[in-house]
Amino acid sequence: MALELSYKNTFIDVVEDYQDMGTSRTRAQSSPPCSVRRPSFSLEAAGEEDAMRSYVGTLSQKTANLAENLKQDETPRTACNSSQLSPSPMSSEGDQDSPFGQIPDQSPLAEFFPLLPSQGSLGHPELCRRPCIYFIAGHCENGNACAYCHMEHIEKTPKLDKRQRTIMQGLSRPQLLGLVMHFCRGKAEQAGFLNEADEILGLLAQESTGARPLSQYVSERDLRNLHKTLARMNFSNLIGLVSHQSANRAGDGTPGSDHFSASLDRLRACFLPEACA
């Protein structure tokens, strides 16, 4: 039976059998009675509700289509002909000692890209932008137009501690890019978009040429702790480190990072459904 959805009072709910038989559900004590529409609801809000009901009505059919595709083993593909951020065959239970950490399994959701909760969620979990603090708090007013991610993140975005920031600031640009490239390549390989990331990895490799070994400047303990933190970051966070350093050194002749940001945007665009056309 196809999943049937309904929209009421800003909530999307599943229509179950007992609802069709007329059985009423007990209202939660925390939920106010809604027999009379509150004055705060304007005509514009009512129009938005009608539009949302129409939108939700299309979800049931899309869900049924996706379920049928999965039954036929027709895994949806991304615009670059690779499974949407799905772990590569190398990612198995035996890879738990990998320096890049485990990449969580991702369901094939390419069919639902138009239904992403926000623009910043594109490429989740490796290529998306950082989580939206307003959405987490429950009141992001930008909705689908939000530039930050509205999808679930398993853990908080890792941050460098004071000592690690000092170490990163002391690295030359080639050393930083070489360090970031090491982890970016591992992330892309494990998540299955290594070919799509060829451009940005090529830029990192080109600009990190001639970098001196970090072991000559950083203690083994500090380097090990730094690697642990970088391994927990996603692909976008790692590229963000390059942009952040370039911004801080804008006046000392350090090359800009616009080309890395542009390359990252092109990489994200590979996972838009319309790019397949």
Among 184, 180, 187, 158, residue whose Cα is nearest residue 87: 187
pTM: 0.57
* pLDDT tens by residue, 155-176: 888 999 999 999 999 999 999 9
Domain positions in the chain: 1-17+44-74, 162-275
Residue 157's pLDDT is 85
Q: How far apart are CA 202 and CA 167, in angstroms?
A: 25
* pLDDT tens by residue, 27-55: 565 655 555 545 444 555 555 666 666 66
Q: How far apart are CA 131 and CA 171, in angstroms?
A: 28
* pLDDT block averages, 10 residues each, the chain of length 277: 65 61 56 52 55 65 68 51 46 42 40 68 92 91 91 88 94 94 96 95 94 91 95 94 71 64 92 61
Residue 110's pLDDT is 41
HEC readout, the chain: CCCCEEEECCEEEECCHHHHCCCCCCCCCCCCCCCCCCCCCCHHHHHHHHHHHHHHHHHHHHHHHHHHHHHCCCCCCCCCCCCCCCCCCCCCHHHCCCCCCCCCCCCCCHHHHHHCCCHHHCCCCCCCCCECHHHHHCCCCCHHHCCCECCCCCCCCCCCCHHHHHHHHHCCHHHHHHHHHHHHHHHHHHHCCCCCCHHHHHHHHHHCCCCCCHHHCCCHHHHHHHHHHHHHCCHHHHHHHHHHHHHHCCCCCCCCCHHHHHHHHHHHHCCCHHHHC
Q: Can the peptide bond before residue 108 be classed as cis, meaning omega within 30 degrees of 0? A: no
Residue 98's pLDDT is 42
- Interior/surface letters 54-80, b for 16+ CB within 10 angstroms, e for the rest: eeeeebbeebeebeeeeeeeeebebbb
